[in-house]
Chain A
Amino acid sequence: MITPPLVRRNTPQRYRMEAYQCTKCGKIFFPGRLVCDRCKHREFEMVTLPEEGKVITHTVIRTPPTGFSDLSPYCVGIVEMANGVRILCQIADCEPETLAVGLPVTLEFRRVQEDGESGVLAYGYKAVPAR
């Protein structure tokens, strides 16, 4: 779903990778939470995720959902960032044959979705391997 309030509310995470770290046990959450699932503490401080990471699992989507056909087939993976936090995102500019567990990637700002021809654009992060 891409609607103006949804896009706006997700902007700090999608544009600036804002994560939140529990001030008691140090676990980092992306996106942030109201309560730490490890120690139940309720205070956090903002940290930015690093832009470097590595692929820990991956796939190639060949039957895309609505709105994703232009890039099909495209790579998707779970990426472990340099600070240990894991995210899921597309792996862009990547030939499917080169996908591998351990592939180092860097996050780039990309247009992730659009609400049809006239709706708002939803930007966010994708992981890109070195050229």
Chain B
Amino acid sequence: MSKSMLRTVLVIAALIIGLSVVYAPRIFSSTPAPIEESAEGEETYTYVTDLDFWKRTPRETTVKTVARFDLDADLNNVPLTVGDWQGEERPETNQEVEILLNPEQYVRRLYQNPEGQYIWLTMIGGRSSRPFHPPDICYSADGWQYDLGSRSVSLPEGGELYGLWLDADKQFADRSDPTEHVVYYFYLFPDKQRDLSDGIVLFKLTSAQYGSMDETLEMQADFIRNLFLKAE
């Protein structure tokens, strides 16, 4: 091998090593993989959750889940049976949602528990900011009055998952009482890099108010505890 050829090979080798060092963490960190099995022998996955997708907040946390919440998977595979809750698909029929948000994935379900309580689960996935209008902005634009706060959910294997809640109401002309929605939501990212192109999923629960606001949020927390096992 000539000296010139040897130098070329050495330079190429050095560049390959350098590029590997730069890109390997991104490549390997963007694919969520089962990290262990839960006590029931289920595969579990890790994600990062936060109250917002745009700017990191102090509530960012890493969670262990029993289902995949990333865009390399089909969000329709999130179980229809969630603890005592039984769900059915209720695809979005409003074409404006599709046109306005243009999500990569959009799953909408109605779950019911044995007490006859209902929860809507909406999961919106995308790789740009377009599908992710903060729910409070949408409610406000549609004429709802609301209070907004945050609440943590204690998970079965430890740790707290934080979400934002919305207590929204609106008086419709054809109803005697105001319609009330209790919304709880947070965002899921495949990893801490939170790169938009890796995909983001909005996880949103909506229900009527059952009892007090606290009782309603606790009912929603019960649903969440069946999908999210641990936070750290």
- A and B together in one complex: no
User: Which A residues are within 8 Å of any B CB, using their own CB?
Assistant: none
